[in-house]
Structure 1
Amino acid sequence: MGRQMTEMLKGVLEGVVLAILSGRSAYGYEITAWLRDLGFADIAEGTVYALLVRFERRGLVDVEKVPSEKGPPRKVYSLNAQGRHYLDEFWKTWGFLVERLEHLREGEK
């Protein structure tokens, strides 16, 4: 991923991870794997875990410890009502930005 892509992704990664959690509960490694499957190959697990900790502190997710076959229990994250509200606001902001950027791009032609 180029530097520009990396910098842009930093700004929207919260929304991307919340969008993933809006569809199903998941643990950190699972989320990282899905991001990589979506083409975000350079996403580090540590980046995702740091986001999940912030989400938990801000009350955007519920956390359940689930036994694991391979070691300590896993923390499984699910989006709660406050997280859904935050995600809705993210999508509104995203829509606003996309609309303005498309307008600017069309103005170049």
Structure 2
Amino acid sequence: MSVSDQIMKGLLDGAILGLISHGETYGYEITEKLKSHQFPDISEGSIYPVLLRLSKKGYVNTRMVKSDSGGPKRKYYSISESGAKELKIFTEKWSKLNTGMNSLVRGDLNVK
């Protein structure tokens, strides 16, 4: 697994929690929203293991909804209270890391 793949894997939890925090959603919709926000090479197959992990940790709530078109039930995800707390921690850590990485990439080596 390349470094960029490892980075993406680490960021997906926070990205998905961030999307879910804006309102109840389902897997395919999450995939499409990530793609629309320029996340590279995101597939439904990479989203569902993350959703399962977030659910097992208690960060998201799930509910099954019957399809209007007669298809299979769809699982909807919403953020839990502990998920909102985890998202806040992730956002704070990401902000600091992002600031540091941007500084290094720009060559701001004399920053204190």
Q: How many Å separate the matches in 1 of 2:49 and 2:70?
A: 22
**How many residue pairs get matched?**
106
Rounded to whole Å, the distance in 1 between the matches of 2:40 and 2:65 is 27
Distance 2:39 2:5 in 1: 9
Which residue pairs with 2:109 in the alignment?
107
Judging by fraction of residues, say which structure has more helix.
Answer: 1
Tell me the TM-score normalised to structure 2 length.
0.84
Aligned partner of 2:48 in structure 1 is 49
Give a deviation string over 1:15-63, Cα, whole Å, max 9, x none: 0010000101101011001111112241111110111111111111111
C-alpha distance in structure 2 between counterparts of 1:48 and 1:103, whole Å: 31
User: Within 2, Cα distance between the matches of 1:102 and 1:31?
Assistant: 27
Q: Counterpart in 2 of 1:98?
A: 98
For the pair 1:78 / 2:78, whether they are aligned, the reply is yes
Q: Which sits farther off after the overlay, 35-44 or 53-62?
A: 35-44
Structure 1 gap ranges (5+): none
CA RMSD of aligned residues (A): 1.7
Which has a greater percent of strand?
1
CA separation of 1:95/1:25 partners in 2, compared to 1, >3 Å: closer, same or farther? same
Q: Percent of pairs identical after alignment?
A: 35
Whole-angstrom CA distance in 2 between matches of 1:40 and 1:98: 16
